[in-house]
């Protein structure tokens, strides 16, 4: 087999590498020149373990008294009068919060604790000529005012509680925080208290929104920082939860990177309310060689909900010639691709293959 001329081979290789260098320059990609790649954000792995351990520890912290629970509509109440069986019965609390009893008639039950209802029935029976009545009240079913747990938890739903619980205990009842990449928890838990207990329930940031029998129904909202709740060890964040409260684990916002990047998709804002454009590109694996860095655009909605497109020159951004830009929840960073660059890369690959063939086969 005739060997190719050495000088011809060297010339072919030089031409191939010159073409490679030229095209590499055209397809400049700063994302591959010192911009770190980052994995998608994840929830700290031990948070759910802390929730379950905390709930288990609190379950043994002393017994709750039956005076903690407030009777509500649809509860089933068993009332017994010692040695007066004809006055003993099991009754369902009406939607208006009332019960009906012999010798007493209709009386309010909602809002009372079992102990308070015993005292109210005892006082009413004394007025009905029952001597020294001994009354006991037992709640057989708890159907009123369940606690709602919604948002970024594994098992959102309604949970019946008989007494005051803590936020950690309710998160455990919902099987902990969601670990789904599509529904990671954000930075905040919002607890909405609604009760007729007293103004104490509204001290955080609430107002009286309606009245029942002249008593205001207070609504209070507490915002609990999730990280402090689970990592600080400060019990002030583990707030009391009562029947009728609503717990919302606010999901992390999501921003999107699309177009000519290595890993396009949505990424959660678990730690911050925004990321920079450089951070967003790093999380998307960087731009491809065929990306048109000067023609990138950020797509977002303004305060009126209108679509707004903000041009961004990524080449100047990487070179430090312009300030970085923030991306918030639902913002989209789009990096277009270049058809000419893609064609050039294919020509480069063909040139290298030809040069390699010359070396190997002596063509």
CB 283 within 8 A of CB 40: yes
| Residue 349: inside a domain | no
Q: What whole-number distance in Å separates Cα of residue 146 and Cα of residue 243?
A: 5
One domain for residues 61 and 202 = yes
- Note whether 161 and 234 are same-domain residues: yes
Q: Residue written as tokens 């000519």?
A: 260
HSE toward the beta carbon, residue 22, CA cutoff 13 A: 11
Q: Are residues 203 and 160 in the same domain?
A: yes
In a domain, 3, yes or no: no
The reply to whether 15 falls in a domain is: no
Pair (168, 231) in one structural domain: yes
Domain termination residue (choose one: 110, 141, 172): 141
Regarding whether 295 and 158 lie in a shared domain, the answer is no
Give me the pLDDT at residue 25, please.
Answer: 45
Instruction: Specify if 196 maps to a domain.
Output: yes
> What is the bridge-based pairing of β-strands 332-335 and 296-301?
antiparallel
Dihedral of the alpha carbons of 24, 27, 32, 38, in degrees to the nearest 10: -150
- 291 touches 343 (CB < 8 A): no
Same domain, 60 and 78: no
Pair (302, 162) in one structural domain = no
Domain endpoint, select from 141, 159, 193: 141
Does 240 reside within a domain? yes
Contacts of 27 (CB under 8 A, 6+ apart): 289, 290, 338, 341, 344, 345
The confidence score (pLDDT) of residue 264 equals 93
- How buried is residue 18: exposed, middle or buried, by Cβ count under 10 Å (0-12/13-18/19+)? exposed
Question: 299 near 332, Cβ under 8 Å?
Answer: yes
> Looking at residue 120, which CATH number applies to its domain?
3.30.1950.10
> The domain containing residue 281 runs over which residues?
28-41+254-337
The pTM of the full predicted model, rounded to 2 decimals, is 0.59
User: What pLDDT does residue 237 have?
Assistant: 94
Q: Is 218 a domain residue?
A: yes
Residues of the chain with pLDDT under 50: 1, 9, 15-40, 62-66, 196-216, 354-355, 358-360
CATH code of 277's domain = 3.10.560.10
Which two tokens mark 172?
């455990």
Name the domain boundary from 219, 251, 283: 251
Overall number of domains in the chain: 3
Question: Does residue 130 share a domain with residue 165?
Answer: no
- How is residue 249 written in tokens? 């684990």
| Count of C-beta atoms within a 10 Å radius of residue 62 | 6
Claim to verify: residue 217 and residue 188 sit in the same structural domain: yes
232 shares its domain with 276 = no
Q: Show Cβ contacts of residue 126 under 8 Å, excluding neighbours closer than 6 positions.
A: 133
Domain presence at residue 118: yes
Residue 63 confidence (pLDDT):
44
- Residues 331, 237 share a domain: no
> Is 355 inside a domain boundary?
no
pLDDT at 193: 86
181 and 244 share a domain? Answer: yes
The three state secondary structure string of the chain is CCCCCHHHHHHHHHHHHHHHHHHHHHCCCHHHCCCCCCCCCCCCCCHHHHHHHHHHHHHCCCCCCHHHCCCCCCCEEEEEECCCHHHCEEEECCCCCEEEECCCEEEECCCCCHHHHHHHHHHHHHHCCCCCCCEEEEEEECCCCCEEEEECECCCEEECCCCCEEHHHHHHHCCCECCCCCCCEEEEEEEEEEECCCHHHHCCCCEEEEEECCEEEEEEEEEEEHHHHHHCCCHHHCCEECCCCEEEEEECEEEEEEECECCCEEEEECCCCCEEHHHHHHHCCCECCCECHHHEEEEEECCCCCEEEEEECHHHHHCCCCCCCEECCCCEEEECECHHHHHHHHHHHHHHHHHHHHHHHCC
CA distances 316 to 325, 330, 340, Å, are 12, 25, 21
């Amino acid at each position: 087999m005739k060997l190719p001329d050495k000088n011809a081979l060297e010339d072919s290789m030089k031409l191939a590498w010159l073409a490679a260098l030229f095209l590499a320059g055209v397809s400049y990609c700063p994302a591959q020149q010192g911009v770190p790649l980052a994995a998608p954000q994840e929830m700290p792995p031990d948070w759910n373990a802390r929730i379950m351990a905390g709930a288990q520890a609190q379950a043994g912290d002393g017994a709750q008294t039956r005076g903690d629970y407030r009777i509500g509509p649809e509860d089933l109440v068993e009332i017994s009068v010692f040695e007066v069986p004809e006055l003993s019965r099991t009754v369902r609390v009406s939607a208006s919060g009332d019960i009906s009893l012999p010798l007493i008639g209709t009386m309010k039950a909602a809002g009372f604790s079992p102990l308070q209802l015993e005292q109210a029935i005892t006082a009413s029976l004394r007025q009905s000529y029952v001597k020294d009545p001994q009354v006991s009240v037992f709640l057989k079913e708890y159907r009123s005012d369940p606690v709602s747990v919604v948002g970024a938890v594994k098992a959102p739903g309604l949970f019946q509680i008989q007494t005051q619980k803590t936020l950690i205990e309710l998160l455990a009842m919902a099987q902990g925080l969601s670990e789904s990449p599509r529904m990671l928890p954000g930075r905040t838990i919002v607890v909405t208290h609604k009760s007729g207990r007293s103004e104490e329930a509204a001290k955080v940031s609430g107002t009286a929104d309606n009245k029942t029998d002249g008593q205001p129904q207070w609504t209070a909202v507490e915002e609990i920082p999730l990280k402090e709740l689970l990592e600080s060890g400060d019990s002030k964040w583990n707030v009391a939860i009562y029947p009728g409260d609503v717990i919302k684990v606010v999901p992390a916002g999501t921003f999107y990177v699309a177009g000519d990047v290595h890993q396009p998709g949505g990424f959660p804002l678990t730690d911050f309310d925004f990321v920079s454009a450089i951070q967003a590109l790093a999380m998307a694996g960087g731009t491809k060689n065929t990306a048109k860095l000067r023609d990138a655009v950020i797509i977002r909605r303004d305060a009126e909900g209108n679509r707004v497109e903000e041009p961004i020159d990524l080449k100047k951004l990487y070179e430090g010639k312009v300030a970085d830009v923030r991306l918030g929840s639902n913002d989209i960073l789009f990096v277009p691709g270049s058809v000419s660059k893609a064609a050039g890369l294919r020509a480069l690959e063909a040139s290298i293959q030809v040069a390699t063939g010359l070396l190997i086969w002596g063509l």
